Amino acid sequence: MAAHGARAAIRVAGDWSARSADSDVPMVAAFRRGLNEAGYIEGKNVAIEFRWAGGQYDRLPELMKDSSP
């Protein structure tokens, strides 16, 4: 049982893509829609982080490293 006034933890969902933010618009919309359908609302109970490599596949390991807890 949660204490009165206690907030639920905000989860973090993320996506790493070798593509660019511009080319991933449809995928990002679908990702957000899927989270919403599962009960996750951005800014309320989930934070979403995206990383794009802009077509530079060799950047992916660095992007993932920068996102580690």
Query: Which candidate, 11, 15, 10, places its Cα nearest to that of 64?
Result: 15
Q: How would you write the pLDDT of the chain (69 residues) with one tens digit per residue?
A: 455 555 668 898 888 899 999 999 999 999 999 999 999 999 999 999 999 999 999 998 888 887 655
- 52 residue type, one letter: W
Q: Is 48 exposed, middle or buried (0-12, 13-18, 19+ CB in 10 A)?
A: middle
Residues 19, 60 contacting (CB under 8 angstroms): no
Tokens representing residue 35 in the block: 């989270």
